Structure 1
Amino acid sequence: MLQFEQDEQELLEGLIEAIGGLPEGQAWIEGREVTVAPRGGRVDAIVEAMIAGRSLQLLIEAKREAFPRDVREAIWQLRNHLAHQTGLDREVVPFFVARAISPGAREILREEKIGFYDLGGTLYIPSLSAFVYIDRPVPRKTTRALGSIFQGQRARVVQEVFARRPEWVSVKQIAEDAEVSPATASDTLRDMERREWIEVEGSGPSKLRRLCAPTPVLDAWAAFLVDQKPPKVRRYYVSCANTDELARKLDRACRDADAAYAVTGEAAAQAYAPYLSSISQLRCRIAPGPSQDRALEVLDARRVTEGWNLGVIETKARGDVTVGERIDGVALAQPLQVYLDLLQGSGRAKEMAAHLREERLDR
């Protein structure tokens, strides 16, 4: 609680400074935890402001980070508070502040004419007399908070839910398939609910979810990857005529070594949704450990810096290797994983990503 109070104070100070930077702008905190409605209805703060000679009162609701479901709840509360503000000599503006506000949440707030501010400096005041909109990108520090769902074990949960669309799934199913703990699966699904990516049926242990918004998932993940370093890739040369032969040799070697693997990148995209006439390199993931070493030994893969035809993407756990389909006897990563890997590729990889998304993911 103490930490959140410090966050809230930082947000209010940032808001006051931002308003102070407007023409003839000034603002001050009139009160904290103020009762504004019958039955104890309270706002986190009231801020008095002057902008271009016009007086405003901001009714403030504060959160650490905000996603669509969070702001919908706040909007309902603010509308209720606003209904009880009568007899004032200045305009009252319902207002929302958070360290980071997701793009979807920002859109909802604008549509509902609710003012908002975040620590990136974005400021929206939909006043009748002094309309203000300063749009700034989410700061890198808070981008990590919004994007944590796309990292580590939580990312595997999102992938499994996406792969099972439009099925209804349980926490138990997702935890087993993603090879994560039920707690991780449950927390991630709850986060997806906040973002309004999934819909819910039932309650308690029998509660089920299913993906209802694949496009926002793809857009948000793609935006998150823009500032991320591509995964490390170890490059090898394997003697073979082409990537089709290489893929078959990889499959035999991994079966002999009992190593889980999945082909990704251009070669997998070509199998899922043909786009190019030929592919010269093959990227894959192989479960880490002694079995990976044995598979590469069976392949007689030679480590190189140039002239490579086999790239092995670094993995940390067996669960990082997920198989979508087997085509022509070769295990391919899930289409979503292939899409994400292509987005971090070079050459014509991004073109292939767009084609794969259109053919296999935007449905």
Structure 2
Amino acid sequence: MLKFQQEEQELLDGLIDAIGGLPEGQAWIEGREVALKPRGGKVDAIVDAMVAGRALQLLVETKREAFPRDVREAVWQLRNHLADHAGYNREVVPFFVARAISPGARDILRAEKIGFYDLGGSLYIPSPSTFVYIDRPVPAKSNKAFGSIFQGQRARVVQEIFARRPAWVSVKQIAEDAEVSAATASDTLREMERREWVEVEGSGPSKLRRLSAPGPVLDAWTAFIGDQKPAKLRRYYVSGADTENLARKLDQACLKADAAYAVTAEVAAQAYAPYLSNVSQLRCRIVPGPPQERALERLQARPVSEGWNLGIIETRARGDVTVGERVDGVALAPPLQVYIDLLQGSGRAKELAAHLRQERLDR
């Protein structure tokens, strides 16, 4: 509790400094944990402010980080606070403050005419007499937390429920198919609820969820990938094979080596949604360890720095190699994984990613 009180003070100090940086701006804390009448609700803080000669009073609710579901709850609370507070001849503005506010949450706050501020410097004051809107990116530290759902085992959970859309699924189903613990699946699905990406039916052990917002999932993952370094790629040359023949050779080599694999990026995208006239390089994932080495030996793959036609994306565990479909006898990564890998590619990869999204993911 003490730690959050310190964080709350940091947020309020930041808000006061931000308002102080506006033309003729100044602000001060009128009260903390203020009880409002007649219903006895309690607002986290009341901040008095002057902006361009206009007097305002902000009724402030605070959170650490905020997703859509968080701000919907805050909107309800602030509406009640507003009904209970007179303002004493000042214009009263319901206001929300957090260390970071997701883009979807900001959209809701603007639509509801609720002011907001976060530590990235974004500031929105929807006053008819003193309108202020400063839009800045999510703070880097919080952006990492926002994007953690797209990393490691949590990413596999997101991919699995995305692949199953629009079916209703349980935590147990997702955990088994994504090869993660029930706790990881449950935590990730709860996080998706906060972001309003999934619908919920039932409760307790029989609780079911289904993906309801594929577009926002793709938008958020695209934004996250844009800030990440591309995955490590080991490059090889396999003689006498165009990508079509190379894919078949890869399948046979991995079968004999007992190595799970999945073709991704350009070659897989072409199989799912043809777009380019020619693809000269094949990227894939192969389960790490001795099985991968045996498969490479069977392919007589030679490590190279230039002129490669086979690229192996680094993986850490068996669960990182997932198959969506088999097309013409070749195991392909799921369309969502293919899309993500294309976003980290070069040349026309991003153009191909946009086409794949339109044809296979936005439905």
Q: TM-score range by the shorter chain?
A: over 0.9
Letter in 1 for 2:162: F
> How many residue pairs end up in the alignment?
363
**2:55 matches 1:55:** yes
Gaps of 5+ in 2: none
User: Identity over the aligned pairs, expressed in percent?
Assistant: 82
TM-score by length of 1: 0.98
The question of whether the paired residues in 1 share the 8 Å contact of 2:39 and 2:84 is answered with no
Which residue number corresponds to residue 116 of structure 1?
Answer: 116
Match of 1:156 in 2: 156
How many Å apart are 1:241 and its aligned residue? 2.7
- 1:38 is displaced (CA, Å) by 4.2
Partner of 2:210: 210
1:100 paired to 2:97: no
Residue in structure 2 matched with residue 31 of structure 1 by the alignment: 31
How far apart are the structure 2 equivalents of 1:87 and 1:315? 58
User: 1:35 deviation in Å?
Assistant: 1.1
Amino acid at match of 1:213: A
Question: Which ranges of structure 1 fall in alignment gaps of 5 or more residues?
Answer: none
User: Using the alignment, how far apart are the partners of 1:261 and 1:25 within structure 2?
Assistant: 60
Give the superposition deviation at 1:87: 6.2
Tell me if the contact between 2:287 and 2:315 (Cα under 8 Å) persists in the aligned partners. Answer: yes
| 2-structure distance, mates of 1:120, 1:296 | 47
Q: For residues 115 and 22 of structure 1, what CA distance do their matches in structure 2 show?
A: 15
Q: Which letter does structure 2 place at the counterpart of 1:360?
A: R
Any residues of structure 2 matched to 1:145-294 within 5 Å, and which? 145-294=145-294
Shift of 1:199: 0.2
Structure 2 distance, partners of 1:357, 1:280, is 22
2:313 equivalent to 1:313: yes
Q: After superposition, give the CA deviation of every residue in 1:275-319 in whole Å (9 maximum; x if it has no partner).
A: 111111000001111111111111111111011000000011111
CA shift for structure 1 position 245: 0.7
Return the letter of the residue paired with 1:18: A
- What is the alpha-carbon distance in structure 1 between the residues aligned to residue 300 and residue 73 of structure 2? 59
Contact 2:96–2:115, Cα closer than 8 Å, also in 1 = yes
Tell me if the contact between 2:243 and 2:279 (Cα under 8 Å) persists in the aligned partners. yes
Instruction: Please state how far the C-alpha of 1:139 moved relative to its aligned partner.
Output: 2.1
Moved more, 215-224 or 30-39: 30-39
CA distance in 1 between counterparts of 2:354 and 2:262 reads 21
Question: Greater CA deviation, 109-118 or 38-47?
Answer: 38-47
Which 4+ residue blocks in structure 1 deviate beyond 6 angstroms? none
The superposition leaves residues 10-49 of structure 1 with CA deviations (integer Å, 9 ceiling, x where unpaired) of 1111100000001111111111111124454111111111
SS of 1:316's partner is coil
